[in-house]
Amino acid sequence: MNSDSIISGVLIDEATLTIVELANACSVEYTWVLQHVEDGLLARTDSSMTSAISRADAAEWRFASAALIRARRLANIERTFDANAEVAALVVDLLEEVATLKQQRFSEHRR
């Protein structure tokens, strides 16, 4: 796959992606996803999510559409700012928290 191509579509909460699909959608290597899962920076949604992480089982891993958004943000921050994975995850965590607070504030004002 050309790393310059853009994958777009509609995100559906129930839809899941394989590790290869997630890597391709983020224009990252398969091993990038593996490492971020092992480091606890990306979460799987497959039924074995609570079991120990095994690279041998990675082909069976599944990721929610929300993981795609998080993974793209992580990869973008790492590339743009030459940040390590932990710093990028902290920035993404803060962005997600701000979005949650904005949504709560919006919901309160609508009541």
pLDDT tens digits along 47-101: 555 556 788 899 999 999 999 999 999 999 999 999 999 999 999 999 999 999 9
Q: Quickly list H helices, the chain.
A: 19-26, 30-38, 65-81, 85-110
Can you give the pLDDT at residue 80?
Answer: 98
Please report, as a single letter, which amino acid is at residue 73: R
CA angle 19, 65, 42 (to 5 degrees): 55
46 φ/ψ angles, rounded to the nearest 5 degrees? -65, 165
Which pTM was predicted?
Answer: 0.80
CATH architecture assignment, domain 16-110: Orthogonal Bundle (1.10)
Beta bridge partners of 17: 63
The structural domains of the chain, with segments of one domain joined by +, span: 16-110
Cα 48 from Cα 29, distance rounded (Å): 23
